[in-house]
């Protein structure tokens, strides 16, 4: 049986750990409120942007079926006061269906953008993302596709580095979760899609979609070429029940709108994925630290009981020795 001194040390150590986990839970909870507000405000805007882009693309394909291919676009730096990614786009008015960011081609080369965190202590947050990304990587490779990984977050970098995955690491993404940070990640994600030689046919984002503080959904979502939003996503972006399909009217035309809408869609989607990941990480960390604090309380209770039993046994042993000595003296 452990000595009383060692049990007291363990109790003190667990109490110190409990103070740390409780503090981390409170910090994560305070940051989660702000992160949840940001993603709640941005999510309907991002979904509606994609819905409008899908509608514009559909209109353009219907009106310009069979148009020729366009020149590829390149990502360039923008000024600090601009809100969206600046793309050196070709004239879209006559080639809307073949725009390089919207063109549908068979997926032979695929880029997976994996969003993990820089720090741990957030339960299965990072493990679930990495496992899904690894499954997608191996499944697509087995199907004959060439897969490249673009990883944001040190946990994902370490995970795929140990597995010798074809990986490009984007450093410092989580230092600035803003339009500027989204612009940096968007440039990296678009580069293989806009490359002349060996370009990617599709770009997918693998991240945790925030549902609540205790619930996150690991998602593999295609960023490019753009997909039509799902029915549940469209419902989430509307403040009222849609009773009929809306027919959009464009002014001046679809091409002029796409010149502004395509870069806006890319950066809004990237920022949304980043905010979803941040909120999910904080929710997972708050849940994990709450569980750790509760487990520490249970451990302290067990150690205290063990300490009391050991102390009682020591006292009983001393009393027996005293009684035995007294009886020996009487005899």
C-alpha–C-alpha distance, residues 184 and 168, integer Å: 14
Question: 260: Cβ–Cβ under 8 A, 6 or more apart, which residues?
Answer: none
The enclosing H or E element of 125 equals helix 125-142
Which residues make beta-bridge pairs with 148?
Answer: 111
Backbone angles phi, psi at 236, to 5 degrees: -70, -25
C-alpha–C-alpha distance, residues 283 and 314, integer Å: 46
What Cα–Cα distance (Å) separates residue 69 from each residue in 42, 72, 75?
33, 9, 19
Six-digit token pair at 45?
């805007």
Contact 291, 22 (CB under 8 A): no
Of all residues in the chain, what percent are helix, strand and coil, respectively (each to 5)? 55, 15, 30
C-alpha–C-alpha distance, residues 52 and 159, integer Å: 37
The enclosing H or E element of 33 equals helix 4-63
Secondary structure (3-state) at 299: helix
Active site includes 220?
no
- Name the pairing type of β-strands 202-212 and 109-115: parallel
Catalytic residue among 14, 122, 271, 289: 122
Catalytic sites, residue numbers? 122
């Amino acid at each position: 049986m452990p000595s009383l001194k060692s049990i007291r040390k363990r109790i003190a150590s667990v109490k110190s750990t409990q103070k740390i986990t409780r503090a981390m839970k409170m910090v994560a909870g305070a940051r989660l409120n702000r992160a949840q507000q940001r993603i709640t405000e941005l999510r309907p805007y991002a979904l509606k942007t994609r819905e409008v882009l899908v509608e514009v693309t559909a209109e353009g394909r219907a009106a310009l079926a069979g148009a020729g291919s366009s020149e590829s676009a390149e990502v360039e730096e923008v000024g600090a006061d601009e809100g969206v990614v600046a793309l050196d786009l070709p004239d879209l008015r006559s080639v809307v269906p073949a725009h390089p960011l919207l063109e549908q081609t068979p997926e032979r080369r695929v880029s997976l953008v994996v969003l993990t965190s820089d720090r741990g202590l957030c339960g299965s947050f990072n493990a679930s993302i990495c496992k899904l990304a690894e499954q997608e990587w191996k499944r697509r490779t087995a199907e004959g596709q060439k897969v490249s990984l673009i990883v944001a977050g040190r946990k994902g970098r370490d995970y795929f580095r140990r597995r010798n995955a074809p990986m490009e690491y984007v450093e410092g993404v989580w230092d600035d979760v803003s339009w500027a940070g989204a612009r940096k990640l968007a440039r990296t994600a678009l580069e293989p899609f806009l490359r002349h030689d060996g370009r990617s046919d599709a770009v997918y984002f693998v991240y945790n979609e925030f549902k609540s503080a205790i619930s996150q959904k690991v998602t593999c979502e295609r960023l490019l070429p753009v997909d039509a939003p799902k029915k549940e996503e469209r419902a989430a972006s509307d403040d009222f029940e849609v009773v009929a399909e809306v027919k959009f009217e464009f002014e001046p035309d679809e091409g002029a709108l796409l010149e502004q809408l395509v870069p806006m869609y890319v950066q809004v989607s990237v920022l949304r994925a980043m905010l979803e990941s941040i909120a999910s990480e904080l929710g997972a960390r708050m849940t994990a630290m709450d569980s750790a604090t509760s487990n520490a309380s249970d451990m302290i209770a067990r150690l205290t009981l063990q300490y009391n039993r050991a102390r009682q046994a020591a006292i009983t042993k001393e009393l027996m020795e005293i009684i035995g000595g007294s009886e020996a003296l009487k005899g």
